[in-house]
Amino acid sequence: MSEETGFESGAKRLVELWGEIADLEATIQVLSWDQETYMPAAGQAARGSALGTLAGLRHAKLSQTELGDALAAAEACAESGTPTAALARSARRVVDKTRRIPADLARELARAQSRGHAAWRSAHAEANFALFAPDLENLVRLSRLEAQALADGTPAGDGGEAYDALLDKYEPGAKAAELEPLFRSLLAELTPLLQAVRATGTEIDESPLQGACPRDAQLAFGTRVAKAFGFDFDAGRIDRAPHPFCTSFGTGDVRITWRWNDTDFRPGFFGILHETGHALYEQGLPARWGRTPLGKPVSLGVHESQSRLWENLVGRSRSFWEWALPELHAHFPALSGVTLEQLWPALHTVKPSLIRVEADQGTYDLHVAVRFELERRLIAGDLAVSDLPGAWDEAYERTLGLSPAGPANGVLQDIHWSMAAFGYFPTYTLGNLMMAQLFEAARAELGDLDAAFARGEFAPLLDWLRRNVHGHGHRFRADELMRRATGQPLGAEAFLAQRKALTAEVYGVRV
């Protein structure tokens, strides 16, 4: 056994071969990061072919017989519950997923995604669903074939459904039938909460937060807080990009991006806090398992739980702002008159809206619930693409009490389906539920976190997350990770309790 990694010697060859795959993946990530940040537009074609070549090499490495033999050797020597068993299981998952998709289906999907993406862009710009419908039909058809291939030809073999195989790409082990009751309780509790808020007629005045916010001051303020949270800038950096994201080339090099609004500090600032949460996870993954599949994050849901925890439960808490408000004043003279009583409620407004990415914390999961319901029906064949716009509008009316005034603010607003990313949306809500449950467990163990936040101390919380989430890498699946960290399976209770407490405090309503 290796002292350093804890892997049996029978896994040695697998680890060596996987290191090359991991290096290719990191190289692809560097080129993709550059493409989104500094690459001139004219570099597109050359970059596209470089990325295509690297993706082909990765696929070839994952398909080679020698890797299959090395994986079988690791499986043969792994005792259950050991790091070697976890290594073999996560490697097997990647290898099988790669091998089960026939080459012609993979090619057809790639073509359909790139055509679908272009069609979606024009359909969105012209607010005309018909321009996207034929491509979406094709994407649904191919995704169903993909689901069947991923499930090894038996999508309903264990009582599951085709959609589960797609969900599993983003959230290993998740099942639609297990998500359904979670969404049902969210809808049952969040909808009346939203109605009660609307009935108060309260409008929170957000105007005191508007004011000139120079770009450099925003970056300095965001960086100051990211450092205080624990982002290691010797092992990471922040750059501008059209869309905020986080990417990692290993625990020693984690990059985040941001964008800003000149008259409102909030989108840029909370974007940085969100991506910092993702980056803290990546920087905290077990370096001893770097270049193996065990050194990876568990799932998109777990990743999102980390970003949302730092953005929403820390960065929007009253105690955090007791520490951060003087910093805000110092960085933005135009906001030097803002008080905690003006600022804090404005970070917790609840108002139904049509656009998911602009939704507040009280309504966000209702947007996700609509997408989960509709995409699951599309993949099951219970909903035809031609009926999707009507079903969308009906679902928004039923869930949020709003009717979209056209497809651009409705069914065409998200990019995901144009890229065949069916099964991705639920990970946002899983992230919220995990966030709340993890935070509750951390608070139960660590005591009064608010006193620490008010002093600008975030290390106790980060240490807890390192011990209970980050440091395990990909060793446990999300359900087991949650059980170990919180003592319970994932539920909606902690999230709903936090929502209710906030709504009571900000709007004075109780349901």
Chain residues that interact with Zn ion, rule: CB under 5 A: 307
DSSP code of residue 222: H
Provide, rounded to whole angstroms, the least separation between the CB of residue 413 and Zn ion.
18
What is the CB-side half-sphere exposure of residue 10 using CA atoms within 13 A?
15
Asked if 506 and 361 count as a contact pair (C-beta separation under 8 A), the reply is no
Q: DSSP labels for 372-399?
A: HHHHHHHHHTSS-GGGHHHHHHHHHHHH
Q: Which residue lies nearer to Zn ion by CB, 67 or 465?
A: 465
Please state, in angstroms and rounded to a whole number, the distance separating the CA atoms of residues 288 and 152: 33
Which residues, at least 6 apart from 224, have a Cβ–Cβ distance to it below 8 Å?
Answer: 327, 331
Q: Which residue lies nearer to Zn ion by CB, 32 or 82?
A: 32
DSSP code of residue 405: S
Provide, rounded to whole angstroms, the least separation between the CB of residue 125 and Zn ion.
26
Provide, rounded to whole angstroms, the least separation between the CB of residue 300 and Zn ion.
8
- Cα-atom radius of gyration of the chain, to the nearest Å? 23
Q: Which residue lies nearer to Zn ion by CB, 78 or 435?
A: 435
Active site residue 203: no
Provide, rounded to whole angstroms, the least separation between the CB of residue 411 and Zn ion.
23
The secondary structure of 48-95, three-state, reads HHHHHHHHHHHHHHHHCHHHHHHHHHHHHHCCCCCHHHHHHHHHHHHH
Out of 275, 282, 311, 440, which one is annotated catalytic?
275
Q: How many CB atoms lie within 10 A of CB 445?
A: 12
Please state, in angstroms and rounded to a whole number, the distance separating the CA atoms of residues 374 and 245: 26
Distances in whole angstroms, Cα of residue 152 to Cα of each of 97, 101, 148, 155, 423: 9, 9, 6, 7, 18
Give the tokens for residue 479.
């359900």
Please state, in angstroms and rounded to a whole number, the distance separating the CA atoms of residues 413 and 124: 7
Provide, rounded to whole angstroms, the least separation between the CB of residue 285 and Zn ion.
16
Q: Which residue lies nearer to Zn ion by CB, 150 or 368?
A: 368
Provide, rounded to whole angstroms, the least separation between the CB of residue 3 and Zn ion.
36
Please state, in angstroms and rounded to a whole number, the distance separating the CA atoms of residues 7 and 29: 27
Provide, rounded to whole angstroms, the least separation between the CB of residue 320 and Zn ion.
19
Q: Which residue lies nearer to Zn ion by CB, 241 or 325?
A: 241
Cβ burial of 444 (10 Å; 0-12, 13-18, 19+) is exposed
Active-site residue set: 275
